[in-house]
Amino acid sequence: MITVMKFGGTSVGSAEAIQRVANIIINTEGDKVVVASAMSGITNFLVGVVDNPTKDVDAIVEQFANKHLMAAEQMFDGEIMAEFRKEFDIRLEKFKEALQENPGDPYYKDLITSQGERFSTLMLAFYLKKMGHEAVALTAETAGICAVGLPLSGSADLIATENGMSMKVAPVLDKGIIPVITGFYGIKDGVPLTFGRGGSDYSAAVVANALNADMLEIWTDVDGFMTSDPRFIKSAIKIDEMTFGEAAELAYFGAKVLHPRTIEPVRVKHIPLKVRNSFKPQEPGTLIHNIKKKGKSLLKSVATKNDLAIITVSSAELAYRPEMMAAIIGKIAESNIIIYSISTSLSTIAMVIDNADVSTVIKKLNELSGKNIERIDVNNNVSLVCCVGDDLLSKCGVSGDIFTAVKEAGANVEMISEGASDVCLNFIVPMDKVMDVVGALHDKYIG
């Protein structure tokens, strides 16, 4: 039985947190493979280093080293500290060299921002050793995690990673050693490529896929998936079980508990996933798997995504000109911008994007002006409401029920997406009404 266990930034954010996590690891049965994020705050610090460059490399290295050494000094002394310092200093020297690479290189930011994971995993592996368990700190390089894609938004090459890990990590496991592997990035053409912010969850799913694990556990600082955001909906409760499809939609459309890309690598191999709280290891968390259990209520969860905009492009008889439709979407894709939802009519296409992407999208669409775009309208500051439940498409009256509650909350529905997935129904409302809508839906169909 192989369990891949992922710990996020707060779970490895201090000596105390690392000790707590180490206990969780050693109390887990069977073979364990650990994937960890950087200590909390470290990746943000590294992003700052790249965005506001200074010449004082030594000061950066010192600040970075101190944060880690402060925690290490609380955990290690004597011989184990000397051994730790040896490996720590090798990594620190490499970090210093990395800082002096060419900042104009498209992969420079990936190289710098992926440094934190190399140090958190070293501390965790050494603490496991101190507790008398054989452990080794591996990096994406030494574990064989391979990446493809553009800077700052890589994806794993699952086949190459499976081949790499079966050579590099499986033998370690066979010897009863616990591998502690860096999350957040893989290797493309010999250099680090990160999987996007928060990407360590995805790394862990990739590792589970590559090792054909029996279970993936994502250890975080909340109890699991909730029926809604507990900061706003006081009656929100934890969800015990969900399907991969339900969890994927919720993670994508707003629930911050899991990186949305975590589901796919485990879903394809039917590896169950648990979201658990490292501050409450006695709690079972949320189990995500293939098995569909009929719930009593209409909805299982309601999530929201704020700070969105609807961008509506008008072009005569667009529906009869599929090449124009493709050109519009193609222009947006050129800037790697996510479209959350689309709705079309004879002469218009409306798309939901992040508010922050509006000016880029307009600039891109203006490149098409020769191809007769008549108008572009923008409706800023809207929110997407994502309602998740089982078999929403096959039950009669679901939309009637949902939109009755929205009407009672006094919100105008600006756009609807239904029918694409049988586990979710999404719609757009003005941002200042979104919490009233979620409250009404939660009270009526979940609480």
253 binds, among Mg ion, ligand ASP, none (CB under 5 to 8 A by kind): none
Stretch that binds Mg ion, among 7-15, 86-94, 386-394, 405-413 (CB under 5 A): 7-15
Question: With binding defined as CB under 6 A, does residue 183 bind ligand ASP?
Answer: yes
Stretch that binds ligand ASP, among 82-90, 122-130, 193-201, 436-444 (CB under 6 A): 193-201
Residues 1-20 that bind ligand ASP (CB under 6 A): 8-9
CA gap 291, 24 in Å, rounded: 27
> Which helix (H) or strand (E) element contains residue 112?
helix 108-113
> Residue 13 Cβ, how far from ligand ASP at the closest point, in Å?
11
Q: At what angle do helices 158-168 and 200-210 cross, to 10 degrees?
A: 70
Q: With CB under 6 A, what is the number of residues at the site for ligand ASP?
A: 12
CB nearer to ligand ASP: pick between 200 and 301: 200
First to last CA, the chain: 37
Residues 200-219 that bind ligand ASP (CB under 6 A): 200
Check: CB of residue 322 under 8 Å from CB of residue 308.
Answer: no
Residues 324-353 that bind ligand ASP (CB under 6 A): none
Question: With binding defined as CB under 6 A, does residue 197 bind ligand ASP?
Answer: yes
CB nearer to ligand ASP: pick between 200 and 228: 200
> Residue 139 Cβ, how far from ligand ASP at the closest point, in Å?
14
CA gap 44, 172 in Å, rounded: 32
CB nearer to Mg ion: pick between 205 and 446: 205
CB nearer to ligand ASP: pick between 200 and 341: 200
The number of beta carbons lying within 10 Å of the beta carbon of residue 432 is: 11
The set of residues, in sequence order, having a beta carbon less than 8 Å from that of 127 and lying 6+ positions away, is 18, 19, 22, 75, 76
Check: CB of residue 334 under 8 Å from CB of residue 364.
Answer: yes
Residues pairing with 289 in the sheet: 243
Residues 109-148 that bind ligand ASP (CB under 6 A): 116
- Nearest CA to 199 among 384, 35, 21? 35
Closest residue to bound ligand ASP by CB: 200
> Residue 117 Cβ, how far from ligand ASP at the closest point, in Å?
6
Phi, psi of 107 (to 5 degrees): -100, 10
260 binds, among ligand ASP, Mg ion, none (CB under 5 to 8 A by kind): none
CA gap 352, 384 in Å, rounded: 9
Question: With binding defined as CB under 6 A, does residue 184 bind ligand ASP?
Answer: yes
Residues 27-46 that bind ligand ASP (CB under 6 A): 37-38, 43
Question: With binding defined as CB under 5 A, does residue 8 bind Mg ion?
Answer: yes
> Residue 118 Cβ, how far from Mg ion at the closest point, in Å?
18
> Residue 349 Cβ, how far from ligand ASP at the closest point, in Å?
33
Coil, strand, or helix at residue 375? strand
199 binds, among ligand ASP, Mg ion, none (CB under 5 to 8 A by kind): ligand ASP
Stretch that binds Mg ion, among 161-169, 196-204, 296-304, 348-356 (CB under 5 A): 196-204
Q: Parallel, antiparallel, or unpaired: how do β-strands 375-388 and 348-354 relate? A: unpaired
CB nearer to Mg ion: pick between 38 and 136: 38
CA gap 327, 195 in Å, rounded: 28
When binding is defined by CB under 5 A, the residue of 186, 198, 245, 389 that contacts Mg ion is: 198
CB nearer to Mg ion: pick between 198 and 260: 198
CA gap 199, 259 in Å, rounded: 7
Q: Parallel, antiparallel, or unpaired: how do β-strands 301-314 and 375-388 relate? A: antiparallel
Check: CB of residue 116 under 8 Å from CB of residue 68.
Answer: no
Question: With binding defined as CB under 6 A, does residue 198 bind ligand ASP?
Answer: yes
CB nearer to Mg ion: pick between 8 and 116: 8
Rg (Cα) of the chain, in Å, rounded?
Answer: 24
Q: How many residues does the chain have?
A: 447
CB nearer to ligand ASP: pick between 42 and 398: 42
**What DSSP state is assigned to residue 39?**
P
Judged by the rule CB under 5 A, the positions of this chain that interact with Mg ion are: 8, 198
Judged by the rule CB under 6 A, the positions of this chain that interact with ligand ASP are: 8-9, 37-38, 43, 116, 183-184, 197-200
